[in-house]
Amino acid sequence: MNQERLYKVLLGPVISEKAAGSEDQVVFKVTTDAEKAEVKAAVEKLFDVKVEDVRTLNVKGKTKRTRHGMGKRNDWKKAYVRLAAGQEIDFALEG
C-alpha cells in the first residue's frame, strides 16, 4: 500500500460514551472509500499496535431542517478496530 494513502485513511477517533465502553476496541472515522486492510495497516503503522479485527460500516447522514427547506448532512464511514490482548491506544489529552 502507498505510504501516503495510509496517512489519509484515518480521519480521527470517534469519542463517544458507547465507543469508550470497550477496553480492547477503538472506533475511528475513516474515508468513505477505505477498505478493511487499509484501515488495519494504517492503525498498526501509526500507533504501533497489533490489530486483530476490523469491522466497518457506512453511517448515513441525518436529514435536518434548515430555513431554506430540508438539508442533509454528509454520509461517512466508521471502523471498529479490535486490538490484540495487552495492546491499547490512549487518546487522553495531556496538559
Question: What CATH fold (topology level) applies to the domain 3-83?
Answer: Alpha-Beta Plaits (3.30.70)
Q: Where are the domains of the chain?
A: 3-83
Q: Output the pLDDT for position 15.
A: 87
Q: Output the pLDDT for position 94.
A: 58
Say if pTM beats, i.e. exceeds, 0.75.
yes
Q: Output the pLDDT for position 93.
A: 59
Q: Output the pLDDT for position 45.
A: 95
Pair 11, 28: CB distance under 8 Å:
yes
Q: Output the pLDDT for position 17.
A: 87
- Whole-number Å distance between alpha carbons of 43 and 71: 34
Q: Output the pLDDT for position 28.
A: 96
Kind and range of the H or E run holding 37: helix 36-47
Divide the 95 residues of the chain into consecutive groups of 10 and give the mean pLDDT of each group.
Answer: 90 88 89 96 95 96 95 96 90 62
Pair 77, 29: CB distance under 8 Å:
yes
- Integer angstrom CA distances of residue 11 from 8, 28, 30, 43, 76: 7, 7, 5, 11, 10
